[in-house]
Amino acid sequence: MNLKKQYNTFFYMKEIFDQLSANCSRLTTKLYSTSFSYGIYFLGKELRQPIHSIYGFVRLADEIVDSFHHYDKNFLLEKFKEDTFEAINLGISLNPILNSFQRVVNQYQIDQELIVLFLRSMEMDLSTQKYTPELYNEYILGSAEVVGLMCLKVFTNGIDADYEQLKPYAMKLGSAFQKVNFLRDVKADHQTLSRNYFPNVNLALFCDHQKKEIEEEIEAEFAMALTGIKQLPTASRNGVYLSYIYYKKLFAKIKRLSAEKIMTERIRISNTRKVGLMFGSIIRNKLNVI
């Protein structure tokens, strides 16, 4: 076999593995989140796989700290962290999720500091924290805001001016999503995982006044985020807007309930309702009335 043919063969085999890796990230998204799957589907075709890859990475880290209760989570997360940066530096990983993620990091030049901050927040979930306002903000920055920035790197496709302009809005959207998740999952976080992210709040005495204060923060962040969504490139705007609409609807449902009620059940939007929201968001986007 001549060198050129040998190189082409090796390149083709790597392409197969990269496709397998991409499929793993896409399947991970589909299995874990119908909401994000819908949102990603309505991105431009060229954006879907990179965002699947980011979600797959984030989901895997989250599973380590939230679900692998009978294993050494500290060891697993540390190994995951080492494997992540090794994959980025080598340009390959035998872990398909990390192989898919490193391709996106390297292709779109995602700042590794964003990944460091994300993994730092995951580490915070490994021990019981008493969240001060400072730690609360640090956790949200790492667990949600930087994920929004990773996605924004893909959406702006290397145009630094666009990235810097939209950066504050992407961070606010990530923060709003995370705080809605905190309210949605407050029962499981408190009763199953012994977590309380809200500073100066005793969840055993969680009241409507405290819930209202959190909701006011979220309202302000959603309002700012929408300004940024309207400025996104066409290829990404519809998918991001769909995710925004879904979370706004979930948030509205949470707002209608008492603090006592959300401490007893997890609030969700049915898949049928999600489909309705999906088509409604498409129509509003096409009519330019978002």
Report pLDDT for 270. 65
Report pLDDT for 35. 81
Going by pLDDT thresholds of 50, 70 and 90, the confidence category of residue 7 is very low
Higher pLDDT, 136 or 283: 136
Instruction: Tell me the per-residue pLDDT of 243-278, one tens digit each, with 9 for 90 and over.
Output: 999 999 999 999 999 999 999 988 777 666 655 655
Q: Are 114 and 163 in contact (CB under 8 A)?
A: no
Q: Was domain 3-286 assigned CATH 1.10.443.10? A: no
**pLDDT for 1 beyond 60:** no
H helix runs in the chain, sequence order:
3-32, 34-41, 45-67, 73-90, 96-108, 112-124, 133-140, 146-156, 160-184, 186-191, 208-229, 234-255, 259-262, 271-286
Report pLDDT for 288. 60
As given in the structure block, the two tokens for residue 262 are 């959300």
Average confidence (pLDDT) over 203-213: 94
**In degrees rounded to 5, what are phi and psi of residue 50?**
-60, -40
**pLDDT for 25 beyond 50:** yes
Query: 109: which residues sit within 8 A by CB, 6+ positions away?
Result: 153, 158
Instruction: Tell me the per-residue pLDDT of 137-167, one tens digit each, with 9 for 90 and over.
Output: 999 999 999 999 999 999 999 899 999 999 9
